[in-house]
Amino acid sequence: NAGVTQTPKFRILKIGQSMTLQCAQDMNHNYMYWYRQDPGMGLKLIYYSVGAGITDKGEVPNGYNVSRSTTEDFPLRLELAAPSQTSVYFCASRDGGNTGELFFGEGSRLTVL
């Protein structure tokens, strides 16, 4: 039972490079989320999606883009990477019920030098 799978687990980027963090879930969840967690800090919502074709901004969307072409996948794109984007990125999903439980991936640790 895979749950939420994130790739890559670790990545080092140079300033100005671009990359995509992949997130896939096999639980047929409608809602998917991207959070970032800076060292010693809480989780900040970057973007979220309530279903295929629908995305919306969270608390800290600048410098990122997302797409949701399928229910399973929710990639996060970083354009022109900056040192301020050094963080651990977590993808999460939940179903449409009222339990509120978010299921998290293991995280992707990104360093921008």
CA distances from 105 to 14, 27, 34, 93, 113 (A): 25, 12, 10, 9, 25
- Total residue length of the chain: 113
Q: Which is nearer to other proteins, 54 or 80 (CB)?
A: 54
Distance in Å, CB of 76 to other proteins, minimum: 15
Do 107 and 8 meet the contact criterion of CB atoms below 8 Å apart? no
> Contact with other proteins (CB under 8 A): which of 12, 56, 82, 113?
56
Taking residues 78 to 97 in sequence order and writing x for each that binds other proteins by CB under 8 A, - otherwise, the string is: ------------x-x-x---
Q: Report in angstroms how near the CB of residue 67 gets to other proteins at its nearest.
A: 18
Give Cβ neighbours of residue 85 (< 8 Å, ≥ 6 apart). Answer: 36, 63, 78, 110, 112
Q: Site residues (CB under 8 A) for other proteins?
A: 4, 31, 33, 35, 41-45, 48, 50, 56, 58-59, 90, 92, 94, 98-102, 104-107
